[in-house]
Amino acid sequence: MHILKSQILVVVLTSLLFGCATGFKAIHDHDAANDFTDYKTFAWISEHPMKVGATERIISPMMEPRVMSSVENVLQSKGYRLVANAESADFALGFTIGSREEVKVNTSPSMSGAHIGYGYPRRGVWGGAYYGYPTPTQTTVRQYTKGTLAIDVFDVDERRPVWHGVATKTISESDREDLAGTVQDAVDAILAGFPPS
C-alpha cells in the first residue's frame, strides 16, 4: 500500500512540474470592437517580420525562422491557413524579440556567527539574541537574463493592430541549450490567447 501511495505521489508531482514547465508568463491585449470570427487566413507582415527590441545580447538570426515556424504550426493547428501574400490575408503578423540583464539583490539575517542563545528571561521571554550584539546579515547578488517575445496581429483590410501578446521568462542555461523548445513554449503561451474569447 505504501509503494502504491508513493507511485501516485510521484505521478501527481510529475504532472504538476510538467504543467508549469514552460515558466513563461503571457499577457494579451486586443481591440474589443474587432471581429476575429471572420479571420481564416494569415500571412507575415513582411519577408523578415522579426524586430529586435531592447537587448544587451546579440540575437541570432536563426531565431527568426524558429519563431516563424512555431507560429505557423500553432495557427494552422487552430484552423488558420497560411498565404504567401499579406495583401490577400485576413490578418498579418509581426513579432519582436529581446532580452535584458537584471540583477536581484537579497539581504537576509545570517545564522552563521549570530549571537543567539538561551539566557536569563528578559521581559518575560526566554532566549532570543543577547542584547548588545548585532545580528549579522548576508547579501546575495544574482544576475539573470529576462527573455521577451511579443507577437502582433494586424487587420489587413483596416491596416491597424488588433491583437498583442507578449511572454517573458527568466532564461536558464537549459533554455539556451534547447532554443527550439524554448521558442515553442513562448509561442504556445502567447497564442493560447488568440483569438481572444
The string of DSSP codes covering 113-139 is T--B---S-BTTB--SBPTT-PPPEEE
Q: Are 91 and 40 in contact (CB under 8 A)?
A: no
Burial status of residue 147 (CB atoms within 10 A of its CB: 0-12, 13-18, 19 or more): buried
Residue 190 pLDDT class (50, 70, 90 cuts): very high
DSSP 172: P
Query: Which structural domain range is residue 72 located in?
Result: 23-191
Q: Please, are residues 83 and 43 in contact by the beta-carbon 8 Å criterion?
A: yes
5-31 per-position pLDDT tens digit: 444 333 333 333 333 445 899 999 999
Domains of the chain: total = 1
Residue 2 within a domain = no
Q: What is the pLDDT of residues 73-124, one digit of tens each?
A: 999 999 999 999 999 999 999 999 987 665 555 666 665 554 444 455 555 5
Average pLDDT, stretch 178-193?
A: 95
Q: Is residue 196 part of a domain?
A: no
Residue 6: its pLDDT value, please?
41
The pTM score is 0.69
- E strands, 6-46, in order: 25-30, 41-44
pLDDT band at 143 (very low <50, low <70, confident <90, very high): low
What pLDDT shows up at residue 111? 55
Choose among 22, 68, 2: nearest CA to 167. 22
**Per-residue pLDDT averaged across 130-135, rounded?**
51
CATH of the domain at 138: 3.30.160
| Any domain includes 64 | yes
Residue 11 placed within a domain: no
Q: Is residue 128 part of a domain?
A: yes
> How far is C-alpha 67 from the chain's CA centre?
15
The terminus-to-terminus CA distance of the chain in angstroms comes to 45
Task: Say whether 159 sits in a helix, a strand or coil.
Answer: coil
pLDDT above 90 as % of the chain: 54
Domain-located, residue 13:
no
Residue 100 in domain: yes
In a domain, 197, yes or no: no
